[in-house]
Structure formats: structure tokens, C-alpha cells
């Protein structure tokens, strides 16, 4: 018995002939000629070195060897079909992990455009905030990460450099005529490390207010929600909040935007770089960030 596997098309002909009891009927089912099916069965019999069918006047009957082989081949085809069925939906499904604020305030408004541009792609969204993308504990295809980059073993596609500026409800604008007026309000910190306000105040050369004062949150979205309620002044990248700014939910009291030194990246394992769904989504995502 040879150690290699026989040709798949010959096994298909064998199963069809065994189930239908005729080379002619098997040929019709497989859209082949009767002689082609006969040749494939002959090839299979030569491969195994034994007859698989007994030719009788009333039709084909499996030999003892053919009877032994048939259920194994049928089970193998069943397993292959199940595996194919389980993988087929995944070809059109992309699971994407995003920082919460980017997901709700930037990505969600653009979701209809994505569906229109890539109607055959289903994007499933997960939210998570982390300084480093981690594929070891999740089943996501790609992660939009925020940070300095340089994560090992990952493809990093730069999307946008982060630039920070204060943000508040429009009702507070009359009371924020200059940067010193910030001392009248709570600074709303999006991170317990308090680095955003300290970086911005240093960047604009301001000595007041104290960058450590104010309310600390563990997510940017909470800080922005507090700002929309007039509870203080948040700080974020206005490029992520275009809809809120256009709708008058938030406003920019000052024009200075200071680079934070961090960026947003689309990241994924290098072995996924040739996936069609990922390449299509990457092209769409880049176009969205590059649009005015």
C-alpha cells in the first residue's frame, strides 16, 4: 500500500460510482464522460493494487476492498465539507478591536460608508484600551492601537498622529477667553497618568492652571461625556470628534493643537498581511484617515 494519498478527483468518482451503482450515472452526476469516470476508477485500483468494484450485468457491486474503503472516504469528505463550511463565513468577516472613543465617536459614524464600500465584508467590533496590541488573548483579526509603535512581530500601518487640544461644551466658550481662564474649571483627565494636560500646557508655554488638578477618569470617553455636561474641560484629538464638533456638542476654546508624540496604527500579525479582507479594509481605513 503506497503511503501517499490518492487523487481527490478519483476518490470523488469512486464515491459517486459506489452510491449510484453505475459509471454512467456517476459520470452524469459529476458532469464527466463515462470513460473519464472509468479511467479514474482504474487509476484508483492501480493505486491500491486491488479491485474496488465487481462488474455485474445488473451493475456495479463493491468488492471487499471497496466496501472497506468507502466509509473512510465518505467520512473524510464529510470532515472536509464541515471544515470548508466553517471557514467560508470567516473569509467575509473581519473582527476589529478599537479604543472605545475611536470606536464610538469616529468609526461608528463611518460604518454606513464602510458597508457601502465593502458590502461583502462584515466588520465585527470589539473595544479595548491598551498601550500595546495583544493578539495572544483575543480572536481579533486586527487592532487599531494607540501609542509609540515598535511592537514586535506585528505589521504597523500608521493612521494618524495624535494632536491634543482642550474641548468643552459650547456654553463655556464665553468664559474661556485665554488659557489662564482654564484655572476656573476642572481639568478632565482621560488617563490616571495625567500626561495629556501636562503635555499641552507645556507645549503652549502656560504656567497655569496646575496640570495635576481636576477630575481623573480611566477612559477618554468618560472625560468627554463629563465635558458635554459642563463639568469641566476635557482634552483630546479633535480629528476623532468631528461629528461632535460639527453638531455643536463639543467646542474648541483654543486653536493650539500640540502633538502628543503618539499615533494610531492599524496592527495585525505579519502572516495575515495577504488576507484579502484585511487588505480591502486597510485600504478603506487609510482613505478615511487621509480624507479632509
pLDDT in tens, 221-266: 999 999 999 999 999 999 999 999 999 999 999 999 999 999 999 9
Neighbouring-strand partners of residue 122: 93
Each residue's pLDDT tens digit, 139-195: 789 999 999 999 988 999 999 999 999 999 999 999 999 999 999 999 999 989 899
For the domain covering 90-161+262-290, report its CATH number: 3.40.190.10
Q: What pLDDT does residue 155 have?
A: 93
Each residue's pLDDT tens digit, 78-113: 888 777 655 544 458 899 999 989 999 999 999 999
Average pLDDT (207-217) is: 92
User: Identical fold at 90-161+262-290 and 163-260?
Assistant: yes
Q: What pLDDT does residue 159 have?
A: 95
Average pLDDT (34-48) is: 91
Q: Where are the domains of the chain?
A: 8-87, 90-161+262-290, 163-260
Grid coordinates 479632509 are at which residue?
Answer: 292
Contacts of 232 (CB under 8 A, 6+ apart): 168, 185, 186, 187, 188, 214, 215, 226
Q: 8-87: what fold?
A: Arc Repressor Mutant, subunit A (1.10.10)
Q: Which of 169, 165, 125, 131 lies closest to 148, judged by CA?
A: 131
Superfamily of the domain at 163-260: Periplasmic binding protein-like II (3.40.190.10)
Amino acid at each position: 500500500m503506497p503511503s501517499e494519498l490518492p487523487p481527490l478527483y478519483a476518490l470523488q468518482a469512486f464515491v459517486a460510482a459506489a452510491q449510484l451503482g453505475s459509471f454512467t450515472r456517476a459520470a452524469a452526476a459529476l458532469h464527466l464522460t463515462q470513460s473519464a469516470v472509468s479511467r479514474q476508477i482504474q487509476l484508483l485500483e492501480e493505486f491500491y493494487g486491488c479491485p474496488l468494484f465487481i462488474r455485474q450485468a445488473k451493475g456495479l457491486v463493491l468488492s471487499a476492498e471497496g466496501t472497506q474503503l468507502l466509509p473512510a472516504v465518505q467520512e473524510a469528505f464529510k470532515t472536509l465539507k464541515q471544515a470548508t463550511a466553517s471557514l467560508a463565513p470567516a473569509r467575509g468577516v473581519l473582527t476589529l478591536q478599537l479604543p472605545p472613543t475611536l470606536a464610538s465617536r469616529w468609526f461608528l459614524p463611518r460604518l454606513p460608508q464602510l458597508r457601502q464600500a465593502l458590502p461583502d465584508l462584515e466588520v465585527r467590533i470589539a473595544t479595548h484600551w491598551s498601550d500595546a496590541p495583544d493578539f495572544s488573548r483575543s480572536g481579533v483579526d486586527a487592532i487599531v492601537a494607540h501609542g509609540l509603535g515598535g511592537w514586535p512581530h506585528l505589521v504597523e500601518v500608521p493612521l494618524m498622529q495624535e494632536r491634543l487640544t482642550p474641548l468643552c461644551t459650547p456654553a463655556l466658550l464665553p468664559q474661556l477667553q485665554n488659557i489662564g481662564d482654564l484655572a476656573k474649571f476642572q481639568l478632565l483627565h482621560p488617563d490616571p497618568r495625567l500626561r495629556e494636560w501636562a503635555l499641552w500646557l507645556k507645549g503652549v508655554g502656560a504656567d497655569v492652571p496646575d496640570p495635576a488638578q481636576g477630575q481623573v477618569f480611566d477612559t477618554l470617553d468618560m472625560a468627554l461625556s463629563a465635558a458635554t455636561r459642563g463639568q469641566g474641560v476635557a482634552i483630546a484629538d479633535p480629528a476623532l470628534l468631528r461629528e461632535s464638533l460639527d453638531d455643536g456638542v463639543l467646542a474648541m476654546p483654543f486653536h493650539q493643537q500640540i502633538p502628543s508624540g503618539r499615533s494610531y496604527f492599524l496592527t495585525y500579525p505579519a502572516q495575515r498581511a495577504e488576507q484579502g479582507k484585511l487588505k480591502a479594509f486597510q485600504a478603506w481605513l487609510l482613505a478615511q484617515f487621509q480624507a479632509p
